[in-house]
Structure 1
């Protein structure tokens, strides 16, 4: 596949998806409950994602980190039909007509998955007109969907791909509200529409927040919540209402559609995964108890600066912690941090994730993981690099409900792959090639495969720069 430069990038790259979608007969599907015509469609904004064209490819001679703790020296990775076909040592059988890439002295990993991003909702440049991530009009806005704000041509997407090897990411609403709305999981591919990026079949998320943000935003307006106890009280009141809505829906009683309650009822039933912005250990423990009170499950605590204090609770309740390597001290609830947070959570047997929450940091998540790995080793937690890569691919895939399909290099999984020009835990290393579903979308050595947004100037030969 070539990237023609006579057309804007989003249009040129969209043509392959358009053709593939037409060929597959993909279209808009709305499934309603015949006995309850007021029921919501299964997904009124369905994914139209279709992989870009690919060819059988073999990467030979690289060190492979498979994303689940496995490491193969002088390895072979065979990609075919958009999937991982085989992985193993030098004698791994491959197709004779495959393109062979020499990976000697280089590393291969699964594509990085960022579980916490606002790309598209807070697009570049960061001006007020692009601030579409926080619906700060009510502490409960479970009715809003992050995908309805995503601008697919945000230059941040291509930067994350080219500089950071990010192949999948979750776009979340902001954290001003107790219930911020639905998140969406995207494949990091150029597209004209957000539906063309939506990870097919990935569950939606529900963004919740505790702590300083909701009480500061709404307390300043002299309304509830203005305290942490007000946060929890309003959370509980809202879950009680959602339970009643859920019961009526299950009984197929006719009722007016309520977009807040539809999202919350699905979260109660595990159809939507709960992602909770939370810094302090005591608040994470309270939220865990609240989840048990109402029968839902927290999938992941985000930011989780004090996760090291409750790593055993996270482990025992099957909750991931999405964390920074060393961001702290920018507000009171982020002060009691330790730079060993990520390795301590990992060492306790809980699910540790490195996340960005930032359009710049998403471009170097491998380096953020390296910092955490070094701090853990200084503490005496000798975590292997192959095991630490779980923080960047497999664990976030698990938190997004897509670990059976991506996040590690296992036969049958999506061929979301990065070839690094050196050790990916080094500050001197960058992605050399990036595949998504087996399609080569970035090649540092090929100017025609360096996707940039139509709204970002690049080097000569990129975009519209002559």
Structure 2
């Protein structure tokens, strides 16, 4: 949880009192179809902070709709964007805060679609390494949110880099690694306090070397890429049968007895029902094409390929199938399947009309997503693509929001969307620029010039001397 020293004592007392009254119940659940939307467990408890209206004037604004507004203004209130443009009348509100941003830039809050904050928290010790359930090739039953440690001090470092939301994923040891969760980058005693309201779950899958190495090294299946594919297909066959058994039960068919709940098959069936998005770790172009064939066989969709260093080879196919690629700007060569990388990967995917995203997969890189996008933009421009900041900002905002299913709520500066806004002290595509103020749902969560708005996790606080 992020907090100032002044907030610490109140928060500690609240947590202590709350913990003293926690009780548990073990009542059986009624026999109903096991859809997440029907459950009251593990739902978001996030509440946007109440904050006064804010008007930022005289800024260069990148809306992530392709527009760059010079000497622009943005007004937000009650957690939402009210207006963006060059001619905004100042509301007659005594609580209005007006910020003169001459020489500064404004963008949507940055979104990282591939993070392991909280499940691989700092300090990086084995006792808190909770991202990979390496006990079976298919662990669709595990959920990353059940490992997230809200006090991970890396959350506030990402906030200082302008990151307002992120998808936390399990690791990539397994064919199916489990569910990811999308979080608002805010303080919380529980991960439920951070969960992005109504964001769909993502199901993490992994191609290629990782499952082969983890299980083949134990003399288990899968040992080969064909073993990987067989494992996926067997799982989807089981999931389809499970889904049909519940459909038959609800239709009054059979003996009237509900099927037994299976957490692994529940997650897989959620994909087949279109409720859970596939987030697929996959490097090689040929394997991405195979995964899209599996999706055709079982009638689901791959939402996003992650890492995807060879996406440039099949950019037209990705565009044709409406699949996003989440990529690094220049990481490559750390294993064989990551070797055939080009620095213009992001730009080439974008040029083909596919959904291009810059992601981190790193507690360090997440602090510099704007610079990663700048590198990808520069690589494209060196090939003569003429990519502008107004376009490249999409790779870490609205395209990222699309890749995790929250683009209707956030990711661009448009009327009615969440007021997730970053004020930069210069051009965000410069290595010299820093995030100056970060607003989440219109509330100031970080201010580089105010130490009392630079949150610190509980774990980051120094020992209190008596």
Q: Same fold (TM over 0.5)?
A: yes
Q: Which residue of structure 2 aligns with residue 444 of structure 1?
A: 448
* Structure 1 consecutive aligned stretches of length 4 or more whose deviation exceeds 3 Å: 12-15, 32-41
Deviations 1:364-400 (A, max 9, x none): 0100000010010001111111110000000011111
Q: Which residue of structure 2 aligns with residue 385 of structure 1?
A: 389
SS of equivalent to 1:200: coil
1: CA distance between counterparts of 2:461 and 2:30? 51
Match of 1:287 among 281, 287, 291: 291
Report if aligned partners of 1:10, 1:192 keep a CA contact under 8 Å in 2: no
- The CA deviation at 1:37 is 6.8
- Give the 5 Å matches for 1:8-407: 8=8, 11=11, 36=32, 41-89=38-86, 91-97=87-93, 98-162=96-160, 164-252=161-249, 254-407=258-411
SS of equivalent to 1:47: coil
1: CA distance between counterparts of 2:13 and 2:207? 40
2: CA distance between counterparts of 1:234 and 1:333? 20
> Cα distance 1:10–1:230, how it changes in 2: closer, same or farther (>3 A)?
farther
Report the number of matched residues. 444
2: CA distance between counterparts of 1:12 and 1:116? 31
Deviations 1:203-255 (A, max 9, x none): 00100000000011000011100000000001001100000001111122611
Deviations 1:92-151 (A, max 9, x none): 123132110011000000000000000000000111112100000000000000000000
2: CA distance between counterparts of 1:363 and 1:168? 12
> Cα distance 1:43–1:208, how it changes in 2: closer, same or farther (>3 A)?
farther
2: CA distance between counterparts of 1:413 and 1:435? 13
1: CA distance between counterparts of 2:226 and 2:45? 43
> Cα distance 1:46–1:206, how it changes in 2: closer, same or farther (>3 A)?
same
Report if aligned partners of 1:441, 1:449 keep a CA contact under 8 Å in 2: yes
Report if aligned partners of 1:39, 1:257 keep a CA contact under 8 Å in 2: no
Report if aligned partners of 1:175, 1:209 keep a CA contact under 8 Å in 2: yes
- The CA deviation at 1:35 is 6.8
RMSD: 2.2
- The CA deviation at 1:412 is 0.3
- The CA deviation at 1:265 is 0.3
What TM-score do you get using the length of structure 2 for normalisation?
A: 0.92
- The CA deviation at 1:53 is 2.1
> Cα distance 1:193–1:367, how it changes in 2: closer, same or farther (>3 A)?
same
Report if aligned partners of 1:171, 1:186 keep a CA contact under 8 Å in 2: yes
> Cα distance 1:247–1:126, how it changes in 2: closer, same or farther (>3 A)?
same
Deviations 1:284-341 (A, max 9, x none): 0000011000001000000000000000010000000000000000000000000000
- The CA deviation at 1:263 is 0.4
Deviations 1:436-460 (A, max 9, x none): 00000111111110012121259xx
> Cα distance 1:447–1:9, how it changes in 2: closer, same or farther (>3 A)?
farther
SS of equivalent to 1:349: coil
> Cα distance 1:367–1:406, how it changes in 2: closer, same or farther (>3 A)?
same
2: CA distance between counterparts of 1:321 and 1:356? 13
2: CA distance between counterparts of 1:323 and 1:354? 5
2: CA distance between counterparts of 1:144 and 1:35? 22
SS of equivalent to 1:445: coil
What TM-score do you get using the length of structure 1 for normalisation?
A: 0.92
> Cα distance 1:35–1:6, how it changes in 2: closer, same or farther (>3 A)?
closer
Structure 2 stretches lacking a partner, 5+ long: 19-27, 251-257
